[in-house]
């Protein structure tokens, strides 16, 4: 258990989201043990998504842990094959069944892209490319998410991987302002103007991939973020690791962070990243910005993302 109360941030719904969450992308077969370890270490914010295939493992870990449901903040995400408004609630029902809970605290649209309806997560056409559903507007999907809020099956809704223009389009027709936007952000992709936009609209940011390319999925041609000399130097100053400094950088801006690991020592170390950074050190980290975006599903989902944002593909 943590030795001090967990830092939380207040959402526009009035609910609190823990600053440090636990990510569960990849390593499906290791997630039950990893999530149990995280819960025992004190994490109470668990992040998943339908496409990750980890919801059932998370449900088992929660049951084993004995942590009461009302002490947890659970996030899951609607996958692109269920973007049709008629599919939104049934998709959430499937997630809830696997998670073993009657509600989630946050339900997000994973990407602003619709794939063909059906059980296939990545449907393809005869040409081998993503089989999209261009007639489905993510704004209509979001309106269907609003209806689900009224059922009590989710306490809050939001988006993930949207551009500023796409968030603005959602706001034009929404009656519920997104509570959270989950997006890639780390010292190599700082997106200050985009963060300011969210702050102005009272939309909380959750940072995924807070260690940038620590995940081998992204490669390491740029070197590893947590090997950066500045983060290493600051780690020594604060008697922390470079990874903890990267997390503290996000938390210091009022963002929640969702590091992932299946290694017990790293799981526990990441949870000790709630500490203040001096203003001069925040300024030093600002100089690290490379506008380097690592996660882009353009090829996989058949449309261009992040238009107008730093690090977007040309």
Catalytic residues: 52
How many CB atoms sit inside 10 A of residue 219's CB? 9
How far apart (Å, rounded) are the C-alpha atoms in residues 14 and 236?
A: 37
Element (H, E) at 166: helix 164-173
CA–CA gap between residue 216 and residue 168 (Å, rounded): 33
DSSP annotation string for 52-70: GT-HHHHHHHHHHHT--GG
CA distances from 250 to 213, 225, 244, 247, 283 (A): 16, 14, 10, 5, 13
CA distance 8 to 10: 7
123 in Cβ contact with 130 (< 8 Å): yes
**CB of 191 closer than 8 Å to CB of 214:** no
Which class for 200: exposed (0-12), middle (13-18), buried (19 or more C-beta within 10 A)?
exposed
DSSP 282: H
- Cα 165 to its chain centre, rounded Å, is 19
Looking at residue 116, the DSSP 8-state letter turns out to be: P
């Amino acid at each position: 258990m943590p030795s001090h109360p967990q830092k939380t941030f207040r959402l526009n719904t009035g609910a609190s989201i823990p600053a440090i969450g636990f990510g569960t992308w990849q390593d499906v077969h290791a997630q039950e043990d990893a999530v149990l370890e995280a819960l025992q270490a004190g994490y109470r914010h668990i992040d998943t998504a339908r496409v990750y295939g980890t919801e059932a493992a998370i449900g088992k870990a929660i049951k084993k842990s004995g942590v009461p449901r009302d002490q947890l903040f659970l996030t899951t995400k609607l996958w692109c094959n269920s973007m049709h408004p008629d599919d939104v609630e049934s998709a959430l029902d499937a997630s809830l069944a696997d998670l073993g809970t009657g509600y989630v605290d946050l339900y997000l649209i994973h990407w602003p892209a619709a794939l063909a309806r059906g059980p296939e997560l990545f449907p393809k056409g005869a040409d081998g490319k993503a089989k999209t559903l261009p007639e489905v507007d993510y704004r209509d999907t979001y309106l269907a998410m609003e209806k689900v809020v009224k059922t009590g099956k989710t306490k809050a809704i939001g988006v993930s991987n949207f551009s500023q223009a796409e968030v603005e389009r959602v706001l034009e027709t929404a009656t519920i302002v997104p509570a959270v936007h989950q997006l890639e952000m780390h010292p190599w992709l700082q997106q200050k103007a985009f963060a300011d936009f969210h702050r102005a609209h009272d939309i909380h940011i959750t940072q995924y991939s807070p260690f940038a390319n620590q995940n081998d999925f992204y490669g390491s041609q740029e070197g590893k973020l947590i090997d950066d000399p500045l983060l290493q130097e600051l780690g020594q100053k604060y008697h922390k690791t470079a990874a903890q400094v990267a997390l503290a950088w996000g938390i210091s801006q009022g963002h929640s962070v969702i590091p992932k690991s299946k290694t017990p020592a790293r799981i526990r170390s990441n949870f000790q990243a709630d500490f203040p950074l001096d203003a001069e050190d925040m300024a030093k980290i600002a100089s690290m910005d490379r506008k380097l975006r690592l996660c882009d599903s353009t090829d996989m989902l058949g449309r261009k993302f992040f238009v107008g944002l730093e690090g977007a593909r040309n």
